[in-house]
Chain A
């Protein structure tokens, strides 16, 4: 046994991926590279257009009749105009607050419920599971939800952007299914050691579920970040609006501001440039979060856990 290992070891080092898979065939690697390059190009190109337009001048946008593929002159005018007056900076703050607090609360409540529903000894597990599942299939209308939010006194409170959407049935189900996939032996031995459910959750389940928690956190985080509809309906005070609501007013405002309305300023940033600039501002912060989460699902976490 040990000899065999010794022989294999040097070879293995080269022929394995970080997660233990064998090395792919060279032809396969070329093929994969090609597929991924095409896919990435298909995504990057339109984004180049969006970014270029945000930096382009009126002349070029006029000539192009809209989207510009590459800016001839580099103009920051659109960004300056978007940030003028401090509305966007404030909205950015609101969005960050709602996203961080909301994601934290969502993760906590969702993980607790998902764990409880994953345990066979939980009282009322069946009916509760049904309630969670049905919450995906029957959705309340916009008006009744608004009335509930109003009744609970959340109108014009930032909590209205968090509490009503705090628990997503989909995320509960996904997380629960993961918890149930964890090796049963871990629970049994912990129980034998006299660990409480809280201790099992804290010490065993959560550490082993970092990857899926990162994903569910991202689902929630992006949900909070992208939502404008809750702000539209529940915040009468536009001073509390998060970034996406401000973006919305620019992108689909419907009635564009005419130069006369803006008071005929000498230099007016082109409307498409403003829209694309504000789009970029709304995307960049959340995109920056991704690399930090990525490391959590880069490598396996179960190694050794089962054997342990």
Chain B
């Protein structure tokens, strides 16, 4: 009774169940014709009832207003309303397809930042969760957790201002260096270091917060599995590799897929607040480009148009990644 694989993982719990039904279908079909909708509803009415409240909220406050995104095809002025605003076809989409080198640069920056942040920011809370989980003292664990999740509550305006006052060219750190005869380090205003800077800011602000979800996952892992493997003399690395990580795999993949859907969106507020220090060349991303070139003038139609295009790309990315996950036998975000 050694290892991990005995513990039903997400995959084993779900996928087999579903493959079973589908593989049996041909044989079972003739004997049991599929139940009619009404019958199925009668048998499972309670589940439908469960879904109603949340679905109603989503439909009324998400999908109903989503219809308002038709302003993507308008020169929309709020005070004229959708009825009164002029229809302009695909004009608002031009900002995305006009081949402006500055825009292409913004796309490049966005993708680079997304990549860097996926590599560094995404795993950080996982590592921290594993670290915390392996702590001996529960009290220490609690204390560290409570500290690490504090910065999440600061708005970007504050975070940027605090970073600047500590690490800026005239901040505490550099002032101290200069007073002691050293040369100041350009941390904030250095275009080459900009991505590193914003990445560390994101990590500083949200790593502790994001850890919470993974800690919850870790707590769901059956402690008997550890007990048993300890008895068998498994090392900690073995336990990590064979029990802990497989137990977290489902949620990691799920979050990764959802993150992929967010690829074209990187911290707008954080970046625009610091853009002046390094210039648009190093810091322009898709959202700031759209802001600087359209939304500053109150161009709501452009905002909606870009939102639509990004949404479509996200759908393709998420559905594609989900499909890929299925091919590897993972459950992904959802499965049919």
- Residues of A at the B interface (CB closer than 8 Å) are 5, 8, 12, 15-25, 28-29, 32, 35-36, 39-40, 42-47, 49-50, 66-67, 69, 108-110, 112-113, 115-117, 119-124, 126, 128-141, 143-145, 147-149, 152, 163-167, 169-170, 172-174, 177-178, 180-184, 196-198, 201, 211-212, 214-215, 218, 222, 226, 251-252, 279, 282-283, 286-287, 290-291, 294, 296-307
Contact = CB atoms under 8 A, between A and B. Distances in A.
A135 B63 contact: yes
Given A138-B311, A212-B217, A222-B153, 4 more contacts: A22-B235, A36-B131, A144-B68, A294-B145
B13 to A, nearest CB: 5
Nearest to B145: A294
Contacts of A12: 227, 230-231
B250 interface: yes
Contact of B165 (A66, A177, A197, A226): A66
B146 A300 contact: no
Contacts of B158: 50, 251, 279
Contacts of B147: 40, 43-44
Main secondary structure of the interface of B (DSSP, over half): helix
A165 B65 CA distance: 13
A49 B131 contact: no
A212 B216 contact: yes
A301 B261 CA distance: 32
A172 to B, nearest CB: 7
B275 interface: no
A303 B50 contact: no
Contact of B230 (A22, A110, A116, A197): A22
Interface of B: 7-10, 13-14, 17-18, 21, 37, 40-41, 43-44, 46-48, 50-51, 53-55, 57-69, 71, 78, 128, 131, 133-136, 138, 141-142, 144-155, 157-158, 162-163, 165-166, 172, 204, 208, 212-213, 215-227, 230-231, 234-236, 239, 250-251, 254, 258, 261, 300, 303-304, 307-308, 311, 314-315, 318, 331, 333-334, 336
A20 B229 CA distance: 9
25 contacts: A12-B230, A19-B133, A19-B223, A20-B226, A22-B230, A24-B236, A39-B148, A42-B204, A43-B150, A113-B51, A121-B40, A121-B44, A131-B58, A134-B315, A144-B68, A167-B58, A174-B254, A181-B220, A214-B216, A218-B212, A252-B157, A290-B145, A294-B146, A301-B220, A305-B222
B145 to A, nearest CB: 6
User: 4 tightest A-B contacts by CB?
Assistant: A144-B68, A20-B226, A140-B65, A113-B54
A297 B62 contact: no
Contact of B236 (A22, A147, A201): A22
B318 A133 contact: yes
